[in-house]
């Protein structure tokens, strides 16, 4: 019997989302007969988690995350709780878990883990660099620029930014996820653009400013180098933000998406190409927007997508006839 460590929680703004994913995967692996340890590296050498903590319906505050030290990850990875395991399943979303840091620590310690390697994770997490690779490989992605936290936001600068993206902009942390710190500005109001930049800078020193693509939102999971059926996301109101992602009934999901067969196959091919261009393995999920002409635009790729039983990847897997437990089995056996 394999002894498996499932990493969850962590010290990123996606801490609570990670707990949901990690606990669901751990439960599935237990049902499959594996010996499973649940670990939260935020607690260092005392990382064993016996019971699921209460999870609020919001992201953790900076004060909550400030209680933890990044060096705790080193203590966790080098502890016997982890070194005695045969393989690690990393369900840490966001910085310190999805950006190559914990993958590097595991590699340095010679500990086997499933999923994409440190370089692929770092490239995918850095949205601007990933978009450079997408564009160079012929994968259509919206026009973008980056704005550093120390940039002087003069009226002239903001006006130039507005002129560069006339149909609206999406502003988000360059390295982040779960739409935390993301804003959509279509008003053209300079104060709104400035506020959006400061909101993104609260989570990352670099803000990604991207051309807004109005239209449908779809996502494609890749599992064991095969693209699964496409999921269309339809928020009940507004856009697919943190609340719409993690509040039951706030969004509708259409699986498989109602698309022309040729277009669906094209989008799935783009998702597989994005997976390969970044050097990913295991399970990934690539997000797209479809404009009014049906042109897909690749937004980003997630190397550690949500894995609760109601998350997008398991929805796509079910449409392909793969149960949640079998999906978790694939995660272990095909890496």
pLDDT tens, residue by residue, 261-305 = 999 999 999 999 999 999 999 999 999 999 999 999 999 999 999
| The pLDDT of residue 56 is above 70 | yes
8 A C-beta contact, residue 125 and residue 175: yes
Cα(275)–Cα(120) distance, rounded to whole angstroms? Answer: 9
3-113 domain in CATH 3.40.50.20? yes
Range 154-164 average pLDDT: 93
Indicate the DSSP class of residue 70. T
Cis omega before residue 320 (within 30°)?
no
Model confidence at 181, in pLDDT bands (50, 70, 90)?
confident
Phi and psi torsions of 222, nearest 5°:
-115, 125
Q: Is 300 a catalytic residue?
A: yes
The answer to which of 38-47, 173-182, 225-234, 288-297 has the lowest mean pLDDT is: 173-182
Greater confidence, 201 or 235?
A: 201
Using only the alpha carbons of the chain, give its radius of gyration.
19
User: How many angstroms separate the Cα of 87 from the Cα of each of 10, 22, 36, 307?
Assistant: 18, 15, 10, 18
Instruction: Name the catalytic one among 12, 90, 178, 183.
Output: 178
Cα(102)–Cα(7) distance, rounded to whole angstroms? Answer: 10
8 A C-beta contact, residue 227 and residue 305: no
Place of tokens 């237990």: 30
Nearest alpha-carbon partner for 83 in 116, 49, 106: 106
Give the number of C-alpha atoms closer than 13 A to the C-alpha of residue 158, restricted to the C-beta side: 17
Model confidence at 243, in pLDDT bands (50, 70, 90)?
very low
The answer to which of 39-48, 56-65, 122-131, 253-262 has the lowest mean pLDDT is: 56-65
Q: Is 69 a catalytic residue?
A: no
Where do the CATH 3.30.470.20 domains begin and end in the chain? Answer: 125-140+214-333
Whole-model pTM: value is 0.90
Instruction: Name the catalytic one among 14, 126, 192, 210.
Output: 14
Greater confidence, 68 or 54?
A: 68
| The pLDDT of residue 249 is above 70 | no
For domain 144-211, the CATH class is: alpha beta
Give the pLDDT confidence score for residue 149 in this predicted structure.
93
Give the pLDDT confidence score for residue 193 in this predicted structure.
95
125-140+214-333 to CATH, choices 3.30.565.60, 3.40.630.30, 3.30.70.3000, 3.30.470.20: 3.30.470.20
8 A C-beta contact, residue 69 and residue 312: no
Element (H, E) at 169: strand 169-173
Q: Is 204 a catalytic residue?
A: no
Supply angle C-alpha 136, 114, 119, rounded to 5.
Answer: 35
| The pLDDT of residue 184 is above 60 | yes
Model confidence at 178, in pLDDT bands (50, 70, 90)?
low
- The string of DSSP codes covering 264-319 is HHHHHHHHHHHHHHTT--SEEEEEEEE-TT--EEEEEEESS---STTSHHHHHHHH
Q: Is 27 a catalytic residue?
A: no
Instruction: Name the catalytic one among 246, 251, 289, 311.
Output: 246
Give the pLDDT confidence score for residue 55 in this predicted structure.
85
Where do the CATH 3.40.50.20 domains begin and end in the chain? Answer: 3-113
Where do the CATH 3.30.1490.20 domains begin and end in the chain? Answer: 144-211
| The pLDDT of residue 153 is above 70 | yes
Element (H, E) at 252: strand 251-254
Model confidence at 250, in pLDDT bands (50, 70, 90)?
low
The answer to which of 4-13, 49-58, 217-226, 278-287 has the lowest mean pLDDT is: 49-58
Give the pLDDT confidence score for residue 244 in this predicted structure.
41
Give the chain's mean pLDDT: 91
- Residue 328, exposed/middle/buried by CB under 10 A (0-12, 13-18, 19+)? buried
Greater confidence, 91 or 238?
A: 91
Q: Is 287 a catalytic residue?
A: yes
Instruction: Name the catalytic one among 37, 162, 285, 289.
Output: 285
Helix (H, G, I), strand (E, B) or coil at 204: coil
Q: Is 148 a catalytic residue?
A: no
Model confidence at 335, in pLDDT bands (50, 70, 90)?
low
Cα(311)–Cα(25) distance, rounded to whole angstroms? Answer: 12
Q: For the chain, give the percent of residues with pLDDT over 90.
A: 78
């Amino acid at each position: 019997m394999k002894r498996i460590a499932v990493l969850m929680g962590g010290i990123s703004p996606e801490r609570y989302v990670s707990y949901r994913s990690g606990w669901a995967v751990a439960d599935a692996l237990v049902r499959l007969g594996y010996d499973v340890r649940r670990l939260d590296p935020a607690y260092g050498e005392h990382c064993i988690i016996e019971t699921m903590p209460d999870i609020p319906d919001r992201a953790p505050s900076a004060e909550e995350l400030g209680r933890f030290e990044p060096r705790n990850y080193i203590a966790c990875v080098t502890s016997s709780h982890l070194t005695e395991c045969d393989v690690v399943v990393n369900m840490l979303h966001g910085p310190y878990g999805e950006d190559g840091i914990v993958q590097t620590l595991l590699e340095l310690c010679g500990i086997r883990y499933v999923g994409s390697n440190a370089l692929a994770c770092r490239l995918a997490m850095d949205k601007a660099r990933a978009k450079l690779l997408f564009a160079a490989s012929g994968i259509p992605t919206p026009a973008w620029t980056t704005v550093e936290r120390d940039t002087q936001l003069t009226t002239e600068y903001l006006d130039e930014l507005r002129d560069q993206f006339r149909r609206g902009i999406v502003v988000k942390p360059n390295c982040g996820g779960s739409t935390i710190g993301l804003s959509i500005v279509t008003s053209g109001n300079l104060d709104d653009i400035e506020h959006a930049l400061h909101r993104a800078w609260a989570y990352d020193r670099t803000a990604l400013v991207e051309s807004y693509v109005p239209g449908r939102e779809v996502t494609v999971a890749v599992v064991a180098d095969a693209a699964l059926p496409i999921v269309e996301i339809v928020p009940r109101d507004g856009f697919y933000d943190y609340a719409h992602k993690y509040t039951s009934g706030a969004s509708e999901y259409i699986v498989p998406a109602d698309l022309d067969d040729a277009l669906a196959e094209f989008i799935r091919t783009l998702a597989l190409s994005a997976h390969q261009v970044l050097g990913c393995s295991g399970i990934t999920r690539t997000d797209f927007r479809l404009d009014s002409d049906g042109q897909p635009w690749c937004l980003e790729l997630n190397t550690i997508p949500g894995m609760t039983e109601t998350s997008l990847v398991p929805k796509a897997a079910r449409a392909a006839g793969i149960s949640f437990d079998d999906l978790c089995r694939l995660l272990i056996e095909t890496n």
